[in-house]
């Protein structure tokens, strides 16, 4: 019912996040602890390292989320990165949530009127998906990446351009691109000859690397330093990369809309979510396309596009309502079976 209160825990990539959400969609608390700083130093997500970083902050993150939601009566001295242990201790049901499903469904938290079926473009560091969501749990994949995801291309490009990775490569690149001329470097749009809805970003990554090398851009000097000699050359590469990376999204989405309308003529919405959906240029370009095709774009606010606990809690709520959950685990479940 509407007095449902759900704790969502998200640790699948480089952020440790938790949130408490009510059945009616009210967000009671939201806490995110980023490992971007750590990753900037080591150049990517090393699973072992990420796991250790999660375990260092998870107690704190969950405790904060519960406190902000005024759920202080729960004492969380135990290893709370194991949601099963919490569920066992407090004798509450548990829902396992698929990360990408959560990215898509959080759109239904903010947009109460968003009904199935809808089309979803999910763009993150590891995934690039076009999904036709018929109903809760009924998803048809229209397209995926055959190599890298767009977020990976943003991150590598940012790194090669010597940008400050501490806030994440995507946001840094988006900012620099605003200063550049998007027509200055001629990158080709991937997979033009493939008339499907799949994606490819590995080739574009290579094009960018070659462009940087051939221009002798000195990426040893950090972009932030004053009077940086090739700031404008780097901005041109950033802008040109972004234009083509997003053109690829536009082309695939345009085709996916046609496919989706053939399968489900009642589709009215394209949801765009995942970390890269927090990019303003991405949002603007896709909004234009979607309007041109007579549909509506639904894009969660940036804090709900990047990894967060709210989307996990909300997806838990959606499944719980339809009776799709596991019973509380035994309270004293041994550590190694979790
Ligand atoms: O969904 P997400 O937070 O984590 C994964 O599940 O991967 O997505 C992270 C990705 C990273 O590649 C990050 O650089 C990218 O989203 N990203 C952006 C922006 N903000 C985050 N890419 C482009 N522009 C942004 N503003
Ligand atoms: Zn994600």
pLDDT tens digits for 86-95?
888 889 999 9
How many angstroms does the Cα of residue 205 sit away from the middle of ligand 2? Answer: 21
The CA–CA distances, whole Å, from 34 to 11, 51, 127, 190, 284 equal 10, 13, 19, 32, 26
pLDDT tens digits for 202-223?
999 999 999 999 988 877 777 7
Q: What's the domain count of the chain?
A: 2
Pair of tokens at residue 61: 């993150």
**Highest-scoring range by mean pLDDT, 26-40, 226-240, 302-316:** 302-316
Evaluate if residue 43 carries a pLDDT over 90: no
Evaluate if residue 264 carries a pLDDT over 60: yes
What's 94's domain CATH number?
3.30.420.40
Instruction: Decide: 305 in ligand 1 pocket, CB within 6 A.
Output: no
**DSSP 3-state assignment of 5?**
strand
Note whether residue 106 is domain-resident: no
Asked if residue 20 and residue 93 are part of one domain, the reply reads yes
Instruction: Decide: 63 in ligand 1 pocket, CB within 6 A.
Output: no
Instruction: Decide: 154 in ligand 1 pocket, CB within 6 A.
Output: yes
Asked if residue 275 and residue 165 are part of one domain, the reply reads yes
Note whether residue 62 is domain-resident: yes
Query: What pTM, to 2 d.p., does this model score?
Result: 0.91
Asked if residue 301 and residue 312 are part of one domain, the reply reads no
**CB neighbours (10 Å) of residue 128?**
29
Please name the residue whose Cα sits nearest to atom 13 of ligand 1: 170
- List beta partners, residue 273: 122
Asked if residue 181 and residue 91 are part of one domain, the reply reads no
Pair of tokens at residue 38: 């750590």
Query: From CA 323, how far away is CA 319, in angstroms rounded?
Result: 6
Asked if residue 208 and residue 122 are part of one domain, the reply reads yes
Q: In a mutational test of the pocket of ligand 1, which residue from 14, 151, 242, 307 has the highest number of ligand atoms less than 8 Å from its CB? A: 151
Asked if residue 228 and residue 188 are part of one domain, the reply reads yes
> Residue 249: what pLDDT?
98
Q: Any idea which of 148-152, 188-192, 215-219 has the lowest mean pLDDT?
A: 215-219
The pLDDT > 70 percentage for the chain reads 91
Average pLDDT, the chain: 90
> Residue 222: what pLDDT?
77
Note whether residue 13 is domain-resident: yes
> Residue 226: what pLDDT?
64
What confidence category does residue 250 fall into, taking pLDDT thresholds of 50, 70 and 90?
Answer: very high
Q: Any idea which of 37-46, 107-116, 248-257 has the lowest mean pLDDT?
A: 37-46
Average pLDDT over residues 156-178: 93
Asked if residue 283 and residue 134 are part of one domain, the reply reads yes
Asked if residue 37 and residue 25 are part of one domain, the reply reads yes
Edge-to-edge strands, sheet with 15-22? 5-10, 15-22, 27-34
Domain span at 78: 5-101+308-337
Asked if residue 118 and residue 92 are part of one domain, the reply reads no
Instruction: Decide: 145 in ligand 1 pocket, CB within 6 A.
Output: no
Evaluate if residue 9 carries a pLDDT over 50: yes
> Residue 227: what pLDDT?
66
Asked if residue 16 and residue 52 are part of one domain, the reply reads yes
Note whether residue 107 is domain-resident: no
Asked if residue 130 and residue 25 are part of one domain, the reply reads no
Question: 25 or 229: whose pLDDT is higher?
Answer: 25
Question: 96 or 297: whose pLDDT is higher?
Answer: 297
How many angstroms does the Cα of residue 152 sit away from the middle of ligand 1? Answer: 8
């Amino acid at each position: 019912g509407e007095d449902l209160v759900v704790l969502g825990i998200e640790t699948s990539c480089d952020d440790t996040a938790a949130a408490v959400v009510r059945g009616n969609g009210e967000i009671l608390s939201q806490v995110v602890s980023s490992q971007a700083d750590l990753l900037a130093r080591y150049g990517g997500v090393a699973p072992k390292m990420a796991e250790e970083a999660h375990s260092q902050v998870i107690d704190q993150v969950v405790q904060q989320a519960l406190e902000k939601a005024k759920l202080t009566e729960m004492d969380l001295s135990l290893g709370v990165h194991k949601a099963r242990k919490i569920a066992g201790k407090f004798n509450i049901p548990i829902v396992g949530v698929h990360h990408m499903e959560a990215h898509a469904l959080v759109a239904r938290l903010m947009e109460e009127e968003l009904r199935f079926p809808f089309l979803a473009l999910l763009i993150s560091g590891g995934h690039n998906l076009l999904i036709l969501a018929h109903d809760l749990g009924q998803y048809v994949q229209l397209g995926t990446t055959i190599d890298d995801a767009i977020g990976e291309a943003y991150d590598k490009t940012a790194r090669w351009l010597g940008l400050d990775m501490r806030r994440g490569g995507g946001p840094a690149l988006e900012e620099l691109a605003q200063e550049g001329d998007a027509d200055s470097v001629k990158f080709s749009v991937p997979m033009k000859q493939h008339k499907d809805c799949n994606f490819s970003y590995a080739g574009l990554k290579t094009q960018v690397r070659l462009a940087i090398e051939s221009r002798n851009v000195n990426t040893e000097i950090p972009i932030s330093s004053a009077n940086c000699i090739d700031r404008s050359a780097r901005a041109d590469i950033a802008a040109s990369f972004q234009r083509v990376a997003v053109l690829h999204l536009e082309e695939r989405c345009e085709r996916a809309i046609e496919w989706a309308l053939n399968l489900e003529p009642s589709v009215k919405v394209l949801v765009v979510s995942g970390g890269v959906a927090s990019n303003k240029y991405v949002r603007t370009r896709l909004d234009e396309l979607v309007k041109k095709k007579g549909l509506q774009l639904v894009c969660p606010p940036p804090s709900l596009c990047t990894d967060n606990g709210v989307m996990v809690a909300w997806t838990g709520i959606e499944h719980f309502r339809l009776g799709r959950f596991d019973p509380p685990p035994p309270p004293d479940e041994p550590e190694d079976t979790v």
